[in-house]
C-alpha cells in the first residue's frame, strides 16, 4: 500500500526537514522524494552512519537510495548540479536517479546576477535572500520567459545559448532597469562587475555548456506522472524553507520567499494525478531560528535557550548574515500557521504529525515565551490535540 507524506517546515526554515526526510526514507525500500518548491538555495543536512552532507537539489533521502523528482513548481540550477553530485559522492553517497516533470523550468545565471544586484542595492534594507536567483527565476518564468529542463535536454548547446541570449535581451536587461528604478541605491564597484557579467556573452556560453552536460548525464524526464508515481511504495514531498516564509501564509512580507512552502503544491500535484495525501509532517526545532533579514518575534541570545550547538549548515554569509534565535510564541501563535496551511488547502483530510528536532539542546523542552513545555504537556493542550495526531521527538542529528 502506497503512503504519501509532505514534510513541511513550521517556521522560517532550518527546522530539520532534511533529518525528517531521511528518517522516513529509512523506513522505506522504494521511496520517491519530490522537490516541489524553491531550488538550489535549500540546504537540508543529513548525518547518518558517520557521513554528513548538505543537500540542495538532490533529495535528503539520497543516502537511503531514494529517487529524486523535480516537480513543475521547482526551479533547479543545472549549472550547480554536477558539483553537488561530485561532493555527495566524495561524502560517501551514490548519485540517486533524478527525474523531472516536462514543464520544470531552470534557474539561469542572469537570475542570480539580478538577485545579487537587487540585494546589494537594498543595502541595510535587504529582504534576506539567499542570493541564488529563485525569486528572479520565478518572475521571469511567470512572465513567459522560462526555459525548461526538457528544452535543455532536447537542444544542442548553440540553441541553448541563443535562447538564453534572447531571454537576456527581451527580459533580463529591461528587468535590470526596472530594478534600478524600483530600488535606487548607490551602484558601487561590486554592482558594476555584476552588470558587466550580465552583458557578457561568454558567461552564458560557459553556463550553457555545463547545464547541457549535467542535464544529459543526470536527469530523466517523466512524461506520464501518474504512472511514474505508482511505481513507488512511499512518496515524500520534501519542502524547502518554512511556513513563515510562504507569501500567502506569512505576515512578514516583504521578507518572504517567492515559492509556496506548505501544502499548496503537494495537494495540487496529488490532485492532478488522482492521489491523496496520507500525512502532513510539520517540522520545528524546540526553539526558533531565522537565517536572513526580517522580523523574528521573541528573538533572544542562543545562550538563553540551552546548550545550542554550532550550526554548521547556516554559516554567516554576505546575503543572509548570521543565524538568529528565538523562543516560540504563545500556543495560539505556534498553531496558527499550521491551521492556516491546512484550512487553505482543503481542510484536514489526512493525519498531522509534529516532528520536533534539537530536543537534546534544550533538555527535552520546547522553549516558549511564556513557559517551557515538554512534548507530553504540549500534547495535553486541547487546541494542540485537535490539530495534531502525534508527535515525533528527535534528540540527535540522526533520527
Encode pLDDT of 154-172 as tens digits: 999 999 999 999 999 999 9
| Nearest CA-CA partner of 311 in 247, 352, 361, 277 | 361
Task: Kindly state whether residues 186 and 287 are assigned to the same domain.
Answer: no
Question: pLDDT confidence of 185, banded at 50, 70, 90?
Answer: low
pLDDT of the residue at 320: 67
Which tops the pLDDT comparison, 184 or 265? 265
Residue 322: pLDDT above 90? no
Task: Kindly state whether residues 52 and 148 are assigned to the same domain.
Answer: no
- The per-residue pLDDT of the chain, averaged, comes to 94
Task: Kindly state whether residues 278 and 374 are assigned to the same domain.
Answer: yes
Burial group, residue 164, by CB count within 10 angstroms (0-12, 13-18, 19+): buried
Residue 313: pLDDT above 80? no
Burial group, residue 17, by CB count within 10 angstroms (0-12, 13-18, 19+): buried
Q: Is the peptide bond before 254 cis (omega within 30 degrees of 0)?
A: yes
Task: Kindly state whether residues 182 and 244 are assigned to the same domain.
Answer: no
Calpha distance 351→118 (Å, rounded): 41
Q: The cell 529517487 sits on which residue?
A: 67
| Mean pLDDT value across residues 244-267 | 91
Is residue 278 in some structural domain? yes
Q: Which domain covers residue 233, as residue numbers?
A: 3-101+222-393
Share of the chain above pLDDT 90, in %: 84
Task: Kindly state whether residues 229 and 321 are assigned to the same domain.
Answer: yes
Taken as a whole, the chain contains a residue count of: 399
Question: pLDDT confidence of 129, banded at 50, 70, 90?
Answer: low
C-alpha cell at 240: 524547502
pLDDT of the residue at 278: 99
| Nearest CA-CA partner of 151 in 113, 222, 102, 92 | 102
Burial group, residue 186, by CB count within 10 angstroms (0-12, 13-18, 19+): exposed
Is residue 305 in some structural domain? yes
| Nearest CA-CA partner of 115 in 170, 44, 38 | 38
Task: Kindly state whether residues 246 and 130 are assigned to the same domain.
Answer: no
CATH number of domain containing 351: 3.40.440.10
Task: Kindly state whether residues 157 and 298 are assigned to the same domain.
Answer: no
Question: pLDDT confidence of 128, banded at 50, 70, 90?
Answer: low
Residue where a domain stops, chosen among 202, 220, 238: 220
Residue 53: pLDDT above 60? yes
| Nearest CA-CA partner of 43 in 35, 58, 54, 53 | 54
Q: What share of the chain is helix, strand, coil (3-state, %, to 5)?
A: 40, 20, 40
Which tops the pLDDT comparison, 111 or 127? 111
pLDDT of the residue at 181: 86
Residue 363: pLDDT above 60? yes
Task: Kindly state whether residues 238 and 351 are assigned to the same domain.
Answer: yes
256 touches 245 (CB < 8 A): yes
Is residue 241 in some structural domain? yes
- Mind listing the pLDDT tens digit for each residue in 15-52? 999 999 999 999 999 999 999 999 999 999 999 999 99
Which tops the pLDDT comparison, 309 or 216? 216
Task: Kindly state whether residues 288 and 158 are assigned to the same domain.
Answer: no
Question: pLDDT confidence of 119, banded at 50, 70, 90?
Answer: confident
Residue 361: pLDDT above 70? yes
pLDDT of the residue at 292: 84
Residue where a domain stops, chosen among 220, 241, 261: 220
Task: Kindly state whether residues 85 and 212 are assigned to the same domain.
Answer: no
Residue where a domain stops, chosen among 169, 193, 220: 220
Domain count, the chain: 2
Task: Kindly state whether residues 232 and 188 are assigned to the same domain.
Answer: no
Calpha distance 251→240 (Å, rounded): 18
Identify the helix (H) or strand (E) that includes residue 116.
helix 109-122
Which tops the pLDDT comparison, 311 or 230? 230
Residue 238: pLDDT above 70? yes
Q: Please give the span between the terminal C-alpha atoms of the chain, in angstroms, as a whole number.
A: 24
| Nearest CA-CA partner of 233 in 66, 96, 349 | 66
Is residue 399 in some structural domain? no
H runs (alpha helix) in 168-255:
173-183, 189-198, 201-218, 225-229
pLDDT of the residue at 184: 74
Task: Kindly state whether residues 282 and 323 are assigned to the same domain.
Answer: yes
C-alpha cell at 201: 556573452
Is residue 341 in some structural domain? yes
Is residue 398 in some structural domain? no
Assign residue 304 a region (left: φ > 0; alpha: ψ between -120 and 50; beta: otherwise).
alpha
Amino acid at each position: 500500500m502506497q503512503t504519501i507524506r509532505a514534510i513541511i517546515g513550521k517556521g522560517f526554515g532550518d527546522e530539520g526537514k532534511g533529518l525528517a526526510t531521511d528518517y522516513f526514507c529509512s523506513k522505506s525500500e522504494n521511496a520517491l522524494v519530490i522537490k516541489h518548491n524553491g531550488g538550489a538555495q535549500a540546504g537540508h543536512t543529513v548525518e547518518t552512519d558517520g557521513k554528513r552532507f548538505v543537500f540542495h537539489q538532490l533529495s535528503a533521502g539520497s543516502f537511503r537510495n531514494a529517487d529524486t523528482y523535480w516537480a513543475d513548481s521547482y526551479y533547479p540550477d543545472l549549472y550547480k548540479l554536477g558539483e553537488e553530485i561530485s561532493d555527495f559522492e566524495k561524502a560517501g553517497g551514490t548519485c540517486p536517479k533524478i527525474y523531472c516533470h516536462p514543464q520544470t523550468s531552470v534557474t539561469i545565471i542572469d537570475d542570480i546576477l539580478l538577485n545579487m544586484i537587487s540585494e546589494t542595492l537594498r543595502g541595510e534594507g535587504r529582504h534576506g535572500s539567499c542570493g541564488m536567483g529563485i525569486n528572479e527565476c520565478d518572475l521571469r518564468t511567470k512572465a513567459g520567459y522560462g526555459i525548461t529542463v526538457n528544452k535543455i535536454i532536447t537542444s544542442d548547446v548553440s540553441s541553448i545559448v541563443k535562447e538564453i541570449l534572447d531571454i537576456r535581451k527581451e527580459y533580463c536587461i529591461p528587468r535590470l532597469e526596472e530594478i534600478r528604478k524600483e530600488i535606487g541605491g548607490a551602484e558601487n564597484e561590486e554592482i558594476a562587475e555584476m552588470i558587466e557579467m550580465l552583458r557578457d556573452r561568454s558567461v552564458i556560453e560557459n553556463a550553457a555548456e555545463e547545464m547541457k552536460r549535467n542535464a544529459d548525464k543526470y536527469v530523466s524526464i517523466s512524461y506520464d506522472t501518474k504512472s511514474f508515481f505508482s511505481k513507488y511504495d512511499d512518496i515524500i514531498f520534501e519542502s524547502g524553507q518554512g511556513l513563515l516564509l510562504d507569501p500567502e501564509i506569512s505576515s512578514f512580507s516583504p521578507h518572504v520567499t517567492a515559492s509556496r512552502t506548505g501544502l499548496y503544491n503537494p495537494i495540487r500535484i496529488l490532485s492532478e494525478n488522482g492521489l491523496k495525501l496520507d500525512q502532513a509532517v510539520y517540522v520545528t526545532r524546540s526553539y526558533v531560528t531565522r537565517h536572513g533579514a526580517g522580523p523574528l518575534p521573541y528573538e533572544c541570545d542562543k545562550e538563553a535557550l540551552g546548550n545550542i550547538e554550532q550550526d554548521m549548515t547556516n554559516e554567516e554569509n554576505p546575503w543572509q548574515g548570521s543565524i538568529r534565535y528565538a523562543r516560540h510564541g504563545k500556543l495560539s501563535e505556534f498553531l496558527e500557521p499550521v491551521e492556516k496551511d491546512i484550512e487553505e488547502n482543503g481542510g484536514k483530510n489526512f493525519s498531522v504529525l509534529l516532528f520536533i528536532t534539537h530536543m537534546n539542546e534544550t533538555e527535552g523542552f520546547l522553549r516558549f515565551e511564556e513557559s517551557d513545555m515538554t512534548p507530553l504537556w504540549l500534547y495535553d493542550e486541547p487546541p494542540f490535540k485537535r490539530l495534531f495526531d502525534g508527535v515525533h521527538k528527535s534528540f540527535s542529528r540522526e533520527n
